[in-house]
Structure 1
Amino acid sequence: MAEIVLFHHALGLTSGVQEFAGALQDAGHTVHTPDLFEGRLFDVVEDGVAFAAETGRETLGARAGAAVESLPPDLVYAGMSMGCAYATQLLLTRPGGRGAFYLYGAVDPAWWEARWPAGVPAQAHQTADDPWREQEAEEGFEARVPDAELFVYEGDTHLFADPSTQDFDPVAAALAMERIQEFLGRL
């Protein structure tokens, strides 16, 4: 079983993020869910994005780093939308990561001017018509992450696997969870 650190999206550490983590725990994994927003929750993604910008990447990055300081090095780093960046930053700077998975976006290691660690697989999951979808990030993910798997689901919502949001799509969420569980089983 894997030990996972899961970084939340721009709405904060919602009950849906916790429910997603709980499903992974029910499958036997250990899941840590740091709260980068220190209890703040938002109803609208744009409001959470504005709060993250106001708080600053350095502060949020420092909170993410502090959250894993006492954890073992062989983590699986996971992120949801905004959280993908913090998961990747740690994977690229903290030796020993076993894998990464991303919901609601893909990341390009070139954003950090870094090379993806050898032997570390990754998955990304998002909907085809997600208004926050970044084609260039997906292309960089597929080009610069060996063994990258990109899954695109039908739909036009962003937070499709968070049952606490209006974006929730139970069919896509179940398929993403199935693929993530299979991925974790290979590690």
Structure 2
Amino acid sequence: MTEILLFHHALGQTPGFLEFADRWRGAGHTVHTPDLYEGATFESVEEGVAHAEGIGFGEIIRRGTAAAASLPERIVYAGVSLGVLPAQSLAQRRPGARGALLLESAVPPESFGGPWPAGVPAQLHAMADDELAEVPVMREVAGQIDAAELFLYPGGGHLFTDRGTKAYDEAATTLLLRRTLDFLDRVG
């Protein structure tokens, strides 16, 4: 099975985020979920983003890089929303990535120093009308990766995979899980 380094969203390591990780674990994958917030969790995206801004996005990426240091290079990097920052940074900069799962966000590859690395597949997932996910940027990123799949789900909810949020969508989450598990089977 595949080893995954999954980074949390702006709300922190919420029970819904951890439950989502457990669904990948339940399929037999090893999932590491480092806490980039050192125990803090938030009720709203606005509060979580304000906390992340206080830490600094560069520090969030540094903490993610530090979390990867003791792990093998041949892993999949995954992130949900804010967690895409360290996940994508690692997928682009750390040699040996098996792939990337970018959920509800993406950053232009040049933000991390250049084109997406050849041979590193990616899946991107978001709700089609989610303004926070910046779907146009996600489309652009997917277009720059040879082995990319972009999946857009009906609706506009942000953090739709976290059961504890108002945006939670079981049908979309179930489909996302099926698609990501297929991806993990292919790259593992």
* Same fold, TM-score > 0.5, yes or no: yes
Q: CA deviation at 1:63?
A: 1.1
Tell me how large the CA RMSD over aligned residues is: 1.1
Identify the residue that residue 40 of structure 2 maps to in structure 1: 40
TM-score when normalising by structure 2:
0.96
Report the Cα distance in structure 2 between the residues aligned to 1:65 and 1:142, rounded to whole angstroms: 23
Q: CA deviation at 1:131?
A: 2.6
Q: Which amino acid aligns with 2:49?
A: V
Q: Secondary structure at the match of 1:16?
A: helix
Report the Cα distance in structure 2 between the residues aligned to 1:131 and 1:58, rounded to whole angstroms: 23
Q: CA deviation at 1:159?
A: 0.7
Report the Cα distance in structure 2 between the residues aligned to 1:87 and 1:30, rounded to whole angstroms: 16
TM-score when normalising by structure 1:
0.96
Q: Secondary structure at the match of 1:126?
A: strand
* Pair 1:13 & 2:21 matched: no
Q: CA deviation at 1:62?
A: 1.8
Q: Does the 8 A contact of 1:78 with 1:100 survive in 2?
A: yes
Uncovered stretches (5+) of structure 1, i.e. residues with no partner: none
Q: Does the 8 A contact of 1:5 with 1:75 survive in 2?
A: yes
Q: Does the 8 A contact of 1:106 with 1:125 survive in 2?
A: no
1:16-165 superposed matches below 5 A = 16-165=16-165
Q: Secondary structure at the match of 2:59?
A: helix
Report the Cα distance in structure 2 between the residues aligned to 1:161 and 1:110, rounded to whole angstroms: 28
Q: Does the 8 A contact of 2:62 with 2:86 survive in 1?
A: no
Report the Cα distance in structure 2 between the residues aligned to 1:178 and 1:139, rounded to whole angstroms: 21
Count residues with an aligned counterpart. 187
Q: CA deviation at 1:90?
A: 1.1
Q: CA deviation at 1:139?
A: 3.1
Report the more deviating stretch, 79-88 or 106-115.
106-115
Report the Cα distance in structure 2 between the residues aligned to 1:84 and 1:133, rounded to whole angstroms: 11
Q: CA deviation at 1:55?
A: 0.5
Uncovered stretches (5+) of structure 2, i.e. residues with no partner: none
Identify the residue that residue 170 of structure 2 maps to in structure 1: 170
Q: Does the 8 A contact of 2:128 with 2:135 survive in 1?
A: no
Cα displacement string for residues 116-156 of structure 1 (whole angstroms, at most 9, x for unaligned residues): 11111100111011131314412321221111111000011
Aligned-pair identity in percent equals: 48
Cα displacement string for residues 40-95 of structure 1 (whole angstroms, at most 9, x for unaligned residues): 00000011001101111222122111111110000100000010111011111110
* Pair 1:179 & 2:179 matched: yes
Report the Cα distance in structure 1 between the residues aligned to 2:59 and 2:128, rounded to whole angstroms: 32
Q: Secondary structure at the match of 2:36?
A: coil
